[in-house]
């Protein structure tokens, strides 16, 4: 058997950069994939605009094509032609590559009366079981079980139910919503996720003919309808990418204006930056963050929206390692998210993990070295930390970053960074 050649990209990041300028945020990764899945609910052509150029969009395209859809992806527009008869088994190879693929579970159960979705893969940030997804569908009349590495849901018909989530899970909220819109009767979902991406999904479903009240609150009421129609919808801006740029401005003592985002979606993260000493101005569709000195240490704890987002926790840690003073960061959502700290220790950070907490003593600069990304946000956080190092840092496994940050290198360099992408071939 001959050798197999594997190709991996890595970044080299020059330290000492001060980021300055304007950057536009694309559509939200955590929204576009779920909206693509929701297109399964209506026969015909659904069009999504303001879609981000990230690896996960082609992954979801492959999932939908495997179910019988025709999907066209040009520029920032995704067009999905959904047939009258869908296949109910989601392709194993496509699904296992990313977590968001499980969002087809609800639509397929509602449209086909059956769904089989391989247990999904994605980021290494901790255990994310499907118990609440299954329990919600079961309360609406489905039978669910795990078989041969896949979750299966079967239902001759779905009916409305009163469902209370143990935790405001975004994924469970989405799957219950997309099943309930075609169920008979009224579904009341208590302790629902309140994230802006949930509101975006509800807005699209309403434009398809769904009857939904309470989006953005902890109680969502869905009155089932017989049929939905295809629609055209613009994806909201990515608040996590926007937040990444905001924290980059403060970490590098820079001045960045971010457009294409509603600042209210980042209220708490921006308030934290103000507490750290930054000047923050907000506009209708963007904000400006300026910092002319070293940041002051601030404490953080991650919580579901409107709390501090777990996806910005690596940026909060990155800022803390170069801030003045001691910070305590508490992770309340994903238990393995502190793997990122091990890489920061390579850069010379003074950080100690204790269960769900990490105590960080900030220092003026970091020491360049080789580091490895473990997930999308950790990868971005490592690049920002590398900008604060003394020399050139090499960031490996950057395919994670490509899954969530469109044109990341190009946008960094346009702001004054010196980041280069390299490709290496490895024999296995």
On whether 383 is known to bind a ligand per the annotation, the reply is no
Q: How far apart are CA 44 and CA 208, in angstroms?
A: 11
- 427: number of Cβ within 10 Å: 8
Q: Beta partners for 146?
A: 151
**Distance of alpha carbon 177 from alpha carbon 60, whole angstroms:** 19
- Reference 163, options 155, 175, 153; nearest CA is 175
Query: Residue 289: beta bridge partners?
Result: 256, 280
What are the backbone dihedrals phi and psi of residue 103, each rounded to the nearest 5 degrees, phi first?
-65, -10
Tell me which residue of 324, 354, 323, 353 sits closest to 340, measured CA to CA.
353
Residue 333 is labelled as binding a ligand = yes
191 labeled binding residue: no
Catalytic residue among 56, 123, 238, 255: 123
User: Which run of H or of E encompasses 360?
Assistant: strand 357-361
Q: Is 299 a catalytic residue?
A: no
321 is in an annotated binding site: no
At 421 the three-state DSSP class reads: strand
Three-point CA angle 393, 399, 403, nearest 5°: 120
Query: What are the distances in angstroms from CA 279 to CA 106, 157, 253, 324, 344?
Result: 43, 54, 11, 17, 27
Please provide the distance, in angstroms rounded to a whole number, between the alpha carbons at the two ends of the chain: 11
Q: Tell me the angle at which helices 313-321 and 339-346 cross, rounded to the nearest 10 degrees.
A: 30
Local structure of 250: helix, strand or coil: helix
Under 8 Å between Cβ of 363 and 348? yes
- Can you state the angle between helices 131-139 and 170-180, rounded to 10 degrees? 20
| Residue 296 annotated as part of some ligand binding site | no
Contacts of 162 (CB under 8 A, 6+ apart): 139, 187, 188, 190
Quick one: which of 266, 311, 289 has its CA closest to 403?
311
Catalytic residues: 123
Binding residues for phosphoenolpyruvate: 29-30
Binding residues for UDP-N-acetyl-alpha-D-glucosamine: 99, 311, 333
């Amino acid at each position: 058997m001959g050798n197999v050649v594997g190709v991996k990209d890595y970044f080299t990041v020059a330290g000492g950069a001060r980021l300055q300028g304007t950057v536009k945020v694309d559509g939200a990764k955590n929204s576009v994939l779920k909206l693509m899945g929701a297109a399964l609910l209506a026969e015909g052509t659904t069009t999504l605009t303001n879609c981000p150029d990230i690896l996960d969009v082609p992954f979801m395209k492959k999932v939908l094509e495997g179910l019988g859809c025709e999907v066209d992806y040009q520029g920032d527009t995704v067009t999905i032609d959904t047939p009258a008869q869908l296949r109910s088994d989601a392709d194993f190879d496509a699904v296992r590559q990313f977590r968001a693929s499980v969002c087809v579970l609800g639509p397929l159960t509602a449209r086909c009366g059956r769904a089989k979705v391989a247990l999904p893969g994605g980021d290494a940030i901790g255990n994310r079981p499907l118990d609440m997804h299954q329990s919600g569908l079961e309360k609406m009349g489905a039978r669910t079980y795990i078989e041969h590495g896949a979750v299966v849901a079967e239902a001759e018909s779905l009916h409305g139910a009163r469902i209370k989530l143990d935790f405001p899970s975004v994924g469970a909220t989405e799957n219950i919503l997309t099943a309930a819109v075609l169920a008979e009767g009224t579904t009341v979902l208590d302790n629902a996720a309140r994230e802006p991406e949930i509101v975006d999904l509800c807005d699209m479903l309403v434009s398809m003919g769904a009857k939904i009240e309470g989006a953005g609150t902890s109680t969502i009421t869905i009155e089932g309808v017989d049929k939905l129609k295809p629609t055209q919808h613009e994806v909201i801006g990515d608040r996590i990418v926007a937040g990444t740029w905001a924290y980059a401005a403060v970490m590098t003592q820079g001045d960045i204006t971010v457009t294409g985002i509603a600042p209210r979606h980042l209220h708490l993260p921006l308030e934290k930056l103000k507490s750290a000493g930054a000047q923050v101005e907000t506009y209708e569709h963007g904000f400006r963050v300026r910092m002319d000195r070293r940041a002051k240490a601030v404490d953080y704890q991650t919580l579901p929206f409107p709390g501090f987002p777990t996806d910005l926790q690596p940026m909060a840690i990155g800022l803390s390692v170069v801030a003045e003073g001691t910070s305590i960061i508490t992770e309340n959502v994903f238990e393995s998210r502190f793997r990122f700290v091990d890489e920061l220790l390579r850069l010379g950070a003074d950080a100690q993990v204790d269960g769900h907490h990490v105590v960080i003593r900030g220092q003026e600069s970091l020491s360049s070295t080789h580091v490895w990304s473990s997930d999308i946000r950790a990868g971005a956080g490592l690049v920002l930390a590398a900008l604060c190092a003394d020399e050139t840092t090499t960031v490996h496994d950057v395919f994670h970053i490509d899954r969530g940050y469109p044109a990341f290198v190009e946008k960094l360099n346009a702001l004054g960074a010196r980041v280069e992408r390299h490709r290496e071939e490895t024999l296995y």
